[in-house]
């Protein structure tokens, strides 16, 4: 454990160097997260004549710009790395290192945070200028917001790690991840604010992890949740973090026993 902690600065420096070296590819990957802008154009047009629920045009602007920002900050790509390295056998190089592979993957993803912040800055500026009055001014909710973003990233990363570890048993874990993405689109609030769905969808979303990856931080930032509900749902979010960490470590331990790589 102590040895892994000592390796963290080096892992982060290497991860940042990789993100900078492949900055064009990284930039394209981040810019592909443009669905909130598409939905923003759609819903502001729908709300031009009259509000939809309690969402007017400015509310949709605040919601979808906040969604874009949170999505940029919580994205991860470990599922594709895991699937490829398990299939090609290159995972063996990671297993030889004195650091747990999941910790190394996490550092590589986190190390790109400065680039993510640089790309997210115009989004935040646009959000404040165009819909700043629709953001929460509650100091407690603002203080909780970074915690919800960190929790959202951890759920995203750990869920990818669990599904990616299935590549030890199945031909392609990415196909299973496509199913996960479909459910994410419905239950996270990524495409449509959850309160615009029928009530049973919102109730189901509060049980599943998808909302805590994205919708919960967004709703907190734009003032759709009060203090009591925010604290309660923060506890639920971090319970999901703990549960997925347990599942990821278990799936990795069981899968690594099956792993075999051959080379010349």
What pLDDT was estimated at residue 25?
65
Mean per-residue pLDDT, 63-88: 89
Q: For residue 223, what is the DSSP state?
A: T
pLDDT interval class at 22 (50, 70, 90): low
115 burial type by CB count under 10 A (0-12 exposed, 13-18 middle, 19+ buried): middle
In the predicted structure, residue 156 carries a pLDDT above the cut 60: yes
- pLDDT per position as a tens digit, 116-129: 888 788 888 888 88
Mean per-residue pLDDT, 42-70: 89
Can you state the angle between helices 113-131 and 57-74, rounded to 10 degrees?
170
In the predicted structure, residue 80 carries a pLDDT above the cut 90: no
Q: What is the dihedral of CA 178, 182, 188, 189, to 10 degrees?
A: 130
Tell me what the pLDDT averaged over the chain comes to: 86
Residue 249 tokens read as 């470590």
CB 89 within 8 A of CB 262: yes
In the predicted structure, residue 264 carries a pLDDT above the cut 50: no
Euclidean distance between CA atoms 76 and 229, whole angstroms: 27
Euclidean distance between CA atoms 100 and 6, whole angstroms: 13
What pLDDT was estimated at residue 21?
67
- pLDDT per position as a tens digit, 94-152: 888 888 889 889 988 888 888 888 878 888 888 888 887 889 999 999 999 999 999 99
pLDDT interval class at 12 (50, 70, 90): confident
- pLDDT per position as a tens digit, 186-225: 899 999 999 898 889 888 988 999 999 999 999 999 999 9
Q: Using alpha carbons, select from 165, 156, 259 the residue that is nearest to residue 217.
A: 156
Q: For residue 89, what is the DSSP state?
A: S
Q: What share of the chain is helix, strand, coil (3-state, %, to 5)?
A: 75, 0, 20
CB 153 within 8 A of CB 113: no
Can you state the angle between helices 227-256 and 101-110, rounded to 10 degrees?
130
Q: How far is CA 87 from CA 20, 77, 93, 171, 222, in A?
A: 26, 16, 13, 8, 43
What pLDDT was estimated at residue 26?
66
């Amino acid at each position: 454990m102590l040895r892994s902690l000592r390796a963290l600065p080096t892992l982060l420096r290497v991860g940042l160097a990789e993100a900078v070296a492949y900055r064009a590819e990284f930039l394209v990957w981040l810019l592909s997260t443009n669905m909130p802008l598409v939905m923003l154009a759609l819903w502001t047009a729908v709300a031009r004549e009259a509000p939809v629920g309690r969402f007017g045009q400015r509310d949709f602007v605040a919601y979808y710009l906040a969604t874009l920002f949170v999505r940029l900050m919580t994205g991860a790509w470990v599922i594709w790395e895991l699937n490829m390295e398990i299939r090609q056998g290159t995972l063996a190089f990671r297993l030889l290192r004195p650091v747990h592979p999941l910790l190394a993957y996490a550092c590589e993803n986190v190390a790109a945070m400065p680039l993510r912040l640089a790309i997210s800055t115009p989004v935040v500026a646009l959000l404040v200028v165009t819909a700043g009055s629709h953001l929460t001014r509650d100091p407690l909710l603002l203080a909780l917001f970074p915690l919800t973003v960190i929790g959202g990233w951890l759920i995203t990363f750990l869920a990818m790690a669990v599904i990616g570890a299935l590549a030890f048993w199945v031909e392609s874990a990415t196909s299973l991840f496509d199913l996960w993405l479909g459910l994410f689109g419905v239950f996270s609030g990524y495409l449509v604010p959850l309160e615009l769905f029928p009530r049973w969808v919102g109730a189901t979303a509060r049980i599943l992890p998808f909302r805590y990856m994205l919708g919960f931080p967004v709703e907190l930032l734009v003032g759709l949740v009060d203090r009591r509900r925010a604290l309660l749902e923060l506890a639920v979010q971090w319970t999901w973090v703990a549960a997925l960490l347990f599942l990821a470590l278990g799936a990795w331990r069981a899968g690594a026993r099956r792993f075999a790589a051959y080379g010349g």
